[in-house]
Amino acid sequence: MSFQAAAGAQGRSFESAVVAQLVMAGWTILGQHWRESTTLIEVDIIARDPLGQTWWIECKGSWLSESGRNGCLRTDTVKKFVANAALLSLAEPRESYMLVTSHMPEKGTTPHRWIALAIDAGWVDRVEVMTTFA
- Ranges of each domain in the chain: 3-129
**Measured CA distances, 132 to 29, 38, 91 (Å):** 22, 36, 34
Closest alpha carbon to 46 in 76, 82, 8, 91: 91
How far apart are the C-alpha atoms of 36 and 97, rounded to whole Å? 12
The third-level CATH classification (topology) of the domain covering 3-129 is Trna Endonuclease; Chain: A, domain 1 (3.40.1350)
79: Cα within 13 Å, side-chain hemisphere: 4
For residue 121, what pLDDT is reported?
98
Start-to-end Cα distance in the chain? 25
Please report which confidence band the pLDDT of residue 82 belongs to, taking 50, 70 and 90 as the band edges: very high
Q: What is the pTM of this model?
A: 0.88
pLDDT tens digits, one per residue of 24-76 = 999 999 999 999 999 999 999 999 999 999 999 999 987 666 666 788 989 99
